[in-house]
Chain A
Amino acid sequence: MVQFDLAARPLRELNAALHALPLNTNETHWEIINPDGKHAIAAGLDAPVTVEIKGNAGYYCAGMNQVATVVVHGNAGVGVAENMMSGRVHIRGDVSQSAGATGNGGLLIVEGNASGRCGISMKGIDIVVKGSIGPMSAFMAQAGNLVVLGDAGEALGDSIYEARLFVRGTVKSLGADCEEKTLGADERAILAGLLAEAESDASVDEFRLYGSARKLYHFHLDNADAY
């Protein structure tokens, strides 16, 4: 295992070292100590390595991740795993706003709560939040799955295109063009798979599914007078 102390060496050195790893690297396990909320820790990884961050990470941790596994033993700041392509990002604590924003793929697991705008503009990422999520989550979501074991804040799924939003608790309000959907066999299988991946024993039966009413896809001639 490679240990890197962010109190002793600069962040750029860490990220440069991680970026330089070849796909067949033998240095597959990294431990980062004293993160102290620094920004962009382990962003832009593209090798199959595991990076464990021992403490709290700041903004944009594990952004743009591809194939790597990043575990934060603490909280993460704004935009964790933003634009993730593949791989796995696991946060042991809470996350700030815009977690998993614009993510294309991979799995983001949050053991605690997520703040507002969780999964904003998600494009294929899977997100499992074991606590609750804040307001305006899954805004303009396009593809992927958001699973919430707790509650969702105001305006869930506002202006959603596609994407499945599974919520076990209460939803404070739904955003424009977001509606409850029937939880069919296909959706139940997807949900069960994600719960298993996130090592949750929650029952599929406890969830409700929300998605797009698809009424904003096309311009309605009836609205012409409004412009």
Chain B
Amino acid sequence: MCGIAGIFLKNPALEPRLGAMLSDMMAVLSDRGPDSAGFAIYGRGDADRRKVTLRGDSAAAVIAAVEGIGTELPGMVTEFRDSHAVVSIPVGDEAKLRALAATAGVQVVGTGERMEIYKEVGLPQSVSERFGLAQMSGTHAIGHTRMATESAVTTKGAHPFSTGGDQCLVHNGSLSNHNGVRRELIRQGIRFETDNDSEVAAGYLTQKLREGVGLREALQESLADLDGFYTFVVGTEKGFAVLRDPIACKPAVMAETDDYVAFGSEYRALAVLPGIETARVFEPEPATVYAWERH
């Protein structure tokens, strides 16, 4: 069992409240996933620069490592949040930053123009508080609360997973053919950080998007290639999408108003949102792609 929360805003006036909305939803989903939590949020960006989220074993470790990296990358702007650091670098410096991060012992959690990713072990509410989620603003965001059943409770196993720029995926369920798919994706040049099945789904979509396939079509094709139980919620720089497996094994409820589209594993997580009383509440159909795009 896991919990998923996602929000895609249609009304820009709500952007300053996005983090608070997601934080409230994730707190409700604690009892579906008390082991660890994570979230991706799409905030401000600069087309000439790259945002990279780095994670260390502790706040002190990440500060020490990232300050060391900064001496090698003078154009780097850094913001520390607990065990994570979000650094902004010129687009061309990403490869150098990755090499420096590997040497310094910090993990690259995600990169992109606008996306930041945070994940830690612990109750969702405390994870949200450590990173100051409630104060964050953005256009869309996806959160996950994990109840580990198949692999260890570690930060690396926490969602969201990101295998491409501004792309993230959260997953409730388990995939049965992930090892075979992972081998094929590695051959095609996708990089994986863990042995986690959900990361393979993220990598699968990254590969499809690289090939020029749209998000909706990529998810449609995944129905034939990924085997197992899943509800996926996916974010890209402009898009937000949902897909359930053909027998709808894992729960999913959505709410749509003029102001937002929201996803929750259960209605309880949606009940905390403003205007929910008049929202259109529905369950996504099995094997059907739901996608929204910013213009």
List residues of chain A with CB under 8 Å of any chain B CB.
36-38, 56, 58-59, 75, 77-78, 93-94, 96-97, 115-116, 134-136
List residues of chain B with CB under 8 Å of any chain A CB.
247-248, 251, 253, 266-271, 281-283, 285-286
Cα separation A135 to B285 with both chains bound (whole Å): 10
Q: B283 → chain A, closest Cβ, in Å?
A: 5
The reply to whether A37 and B270 contact each other, CB–CB distance below 8 Å, is yes
Known A-B contacts A77-B266, A96-B283; the reply to A56 vs B271 at CB < 8 A is yes
CB contacts between A and B, total, < 8 Å: 43
The reply to whether B268 and A37 contact each other, CB–CB distance below 8 Å, is yes
Provide the residues of chain B in CB contact with A37, threshold 8 Å. 266-271
The reply to whether A135 and B286 contact each other, CB–CB distance below 8 Å, is yes
Provide the residues of chain A in CB contact with B271, threshold 8 Å. 36-37, 56
Provide the residues of chain B in CB contact with A59, threshold 8 Å. 266
Provide the residues of chain A in CB contact with B282, threshold 8 Å. 94
The reply to whether B266 and A116 contact each other, CB–CB distance below 8 Å, is no
Q: B30 → chain A, closest Cβ, in Å?
A: 14
The reply to whether B251 and A56 contact each other, CB–CB distance below 8 Å, is no
Q: B98 → chain A, closest Cβ, in Å?
A: 43
User: A-side binding surface: helix, strand, loop or mixed?
Assistant: loop
Q: A205 → chain B, closest Cβ, in Å?
A: 30
The reply to whether B267 and A75 contact each other, CB–CB distance below 8 Å, is yes
Known A-B contacts A38-B268, A58-B268; the reply to A136 vs B247 at CB < 8 A is yes
Q: A193 → chain B, closest Cβ, in Å?
A: 30
Q: B165 → chain A, closest Cβ, in Å?
A: 36
Listed A/B pairs (18) with beta-carbon separation below 8 Å: A36-B267, A36-B268, A37-B266, A37-B268, A37-B271, A38-B268, A56-B267, A58-B267, A59-B266, A75-B281, A94-B281, A97-B251, A115-B283, A134-B248, A134-B285, A134-B286, A135-B248, A136-B247
The reply to whether B267 and A116 contact each other, CB–CB distance below 8 Å, is no
Known: A37-B266, A96-B253. 4 other contacts (CB 8 A): A56-B281, A75-B267, A75-B281, A77-B267
**Contacting B248 at CB < 8 Å: which of A36, A38, A94, A115?**
A115
Cα separation A64 to B220 with both chains bound (whole Å): 39
Interface centre among A37, A38, A59, A94 (most CB of B within 10 A): A37
Provide the residues of chain A in CB contact with B286, threshold 8 Å. 116, 134-135
Cα separation A96 to B265 with both chains bound (whole Å): 12
Provide the residues of chain A in CB contact with B247, threshold 8 Å. 116, 135-136
Cα separation A35 to B31 with both chains bound (whole Å): 17
Provide the residues of chain B in CB contact with A78, threshold 8 Å. 251
Q: B122 → chain A, closest Cβ, in Å?
A: 24
Provide the residues of chain B in CB contact with A116, threshold 8 Å. 247-248, 286
Q: A56 → chain B, closest Cβ, in Å?
A: 5
Provide the residues of chain A in CB contact with B266, threshold 8 Å. 37, 58-59, 77
Cα separation A136 to B285 with both chains bound (whole Å): 13
Cα separation A219 to B68 with both chains bound (whole Å): 73
